[in-house]
Amino acid sequence: MRKAPLLLSTAIAVALLSTQTLANELTGTLKKIKDSGTITLGHRDASIPFSYFGNDPQQPIGYSHDLQLKVVEAIKKELNLPDLKVRYNLVTSQTRIPLVQNGTVDIECGSTTNNIERQKQVDFSIGIFEVGTRLLTKKSAGIQEFTDLAGKNVVTTAGTTSERLIKSMNADKEMDMNIISAKDHGESFLMLESGRAAAFMMDDALLYGEMAKAKKPDDWTVTGTAQSYEVYGCMVRKGDEAFKKVVDGAIAATFASGEINVIYDKWFMQPVPPKNLNLNFPMSNELKQLIAKPTDKSAEQI
């Protein structure tokens, strides 16, 4: 009978030692989350249907946000934190990388292209989406290709790969376009809808999202040969392999279970807030291949 308390004390001591050892082994973002009991998610306000505000201006929603919440669930299990608090932090095209780098946000899942230039600053999860950069314009404008933009006002969103591509095209082909860089996708579309620009260049899925919220969606069309194919990923701090492993594992599990098909259908094939319009954007073969064989490589590397 005397041995029972001794064995119990030993078991408790071992358990405490194991817990302490785990805490000591944690580094980087996982340690930050464990110590604070909070994870901070970076999100967008107008990247429909990836990450944006719907009817509630305080609650981000979207395809990428749903995947981000899968990551949160995985981190709860990894760190044994069932009551993990989730904090939201709005980012823009210009601030998203700095806010990941300086630790203000722990992960950003929105509409961020994984490219070689950005890989020097942050790490990316396995790909979550693949897009082509095209044009949104009025059907009556007579614009079908990028060559039709010569001498016209063209809007894009500042800090995006589309901005870099259209400026390079303008210089290389001497097209005399007036390129307007708006602060976000919502402002870009507003400039297009109000007639201050003839076309809006951006990732095709985002253009379908903007078209869905137009006053008269049938007046608009997405057109033009894609100038690039780009893979979206979730951003995490560079060199934080332990955290990236959990992020990748959560997304890969969502792919493998087939739940990604439900998430995709919800945001691209069904009516979405705020106007409950349907994007009618079927899953591309490129995205199907990405889901079947997940990779953290950019389209430039695939």
Mean pLDDT for the chain?
92
Mean pLDDT computed over 256-266 = 98
Mean pLDDT computed over 195-210 = 95
Please say which residue of 228, 248, 274 terminates a domain.
228
One domain, residues 203 and 277: no
What confidence tier does 215 reach under pLDDT thresholds 50, 70, 90? Answer: confident
One domain, residues 179 and 164: yes
One domain, residues 219 and 173: yes
Lowest mean pLDDT among 21-30, 261-270, 281-290: 21-30
Q: Facing residues of 132 across strands?
A: 229
Tokens describing residue 37:
């009991």
Please say which residue of 228, 260, 280 terminates a domain.
228
Q: What share of the chain is helix, strand, coil (3-state, %, to 5)?
A: 45, 20, 35
d(CA 287, CA 127): 9
One domain, residues 237 and 112: yes
Provide the CATH number for the domain around residue 218. Answer: 3.40.190.10
R_g of the chain, CA atoms, integer Å: 22
| Residue 3 pLDDT greater than 50, yes or no | no
Q: Facing residues of 122 across strands?
A: 237
What does the pLDDT look like over 120-163, one tens digit per residue?
Answer: 999 999 999 999 999 999 999 999 999 999 999 999 999 999 99
Structure confidence at residue 24 (pLDDT): 56
